[in-house]
Structure 1
Amino acid sequence: MKIERLGQDKIRIFLTFDDLSERGIQKEDMWQEIPKVHDLFTEMMDQAYSEVGFDASGPLAVEVFALPAQGMVVIVTRGKYENHQFGSLHEDEMPEEIYEMEVTLELSDAIVYAFSDFEALIEAAHVLQPTITDAGRLFNYKGKWILHLEPEDLDEGKHPALIAVLAEYGEATSVTPAVLEEYGKLVMAENAVRVICEHFKRQS
């Protein structure tokens, strides 16, 4: 579980499928009112408070983005709530309605991996080239190289092998395609894997 602060009232949490399976949660469970999902949410909010100081009191808007290969992205936005009245209460005395969640779900089939080192991206591209011919967009975002692949451009049967290579050289990222479009710098608009292989040689 990775937690990133996006603003004073907003955080992004990245859950891998391992995070979910360890807690007995299926992807489809994430937008259901069931105890284990509530427990997971409580755990996420506790960790968010301890890691980035995010106070989850008040109404919360929760957006869940399902990414097929990597896991799930949960964006939590705190509403404007007069929580000073609860300031003197201990956590176990907090009224239950303080977790007032509005959950929306978005599915994204995009496969998105980040590379800190461009050389690692070159290596990955050369390994992937026999599998991928015309696919991939490359972004630069927050000092990392982000390779974005759309499943319809790929042979579905080769997804596991593709993801294994990407995971070896890069890391799954919680950055959604929408965030890349808005805040990232587009470096290669199409056929990124092929373009990288054409212009950069592997280190021997």
Structure 2
Amino acid sequence: MRFEKLSNDKIRIILDLQDLEDNDIDYQSFMSNSSDSQKLFMEILDEAEEQIGFITKDYKLMIEALATIDGDFIITVTRSLPDFDITSAYKKKTIKAKRKSNRLTTDTIIYEFNNSDDIFDFILLLKNLNISGLNAFTKDFALYTYKDKYYLVMDNINKNFENIKTFLCALTEFGKSINNSNLFKSKLNEYGTLLVKNNFYKALSKNLK
């Protein structure tokens, strides 16, 4: 974990996957803003105050997070005094953390894409990264459209897939992880429109120039 002070009111925090493993948080939980990831974030802010004197108590915070392809997480924190008395979304609170495996904790994951361009950019990135053998990750891909957005559903995933970290980082580059994936999957089955089943990578790759 590294801290960089960009200005008096802005810092950059750089985490890697080892930092998550040291805190018993898997990639998916961290990216979906779970209670454990919130607890870790509060501990990180305490560490920032101790190491570089960046105090966040009684400040309004703006958080920007980015996952890189090599597995690092870049978090930019900007503080400002609130215009009025509000309860900050990042106010410290006591959370009991459950110890968990350093892997994905679900067999189903869903990512939301804002538009078709983001999906094709994701496919192109996979090609450029030379990530192959996606059938070894899962054979159960499904691409839906629902309320003008696109959703990639992946069932029965292989958590030991060789390129899983790179694949998930690529997903995060263009998509957003959906919480309560099994419940949302039921909603897609009922109200969404299925576009591609299983061979989504092969089907969409044909449309790339």
Report the TM-score, using the length of structure 2 for normalisation.
Answer: 0.44
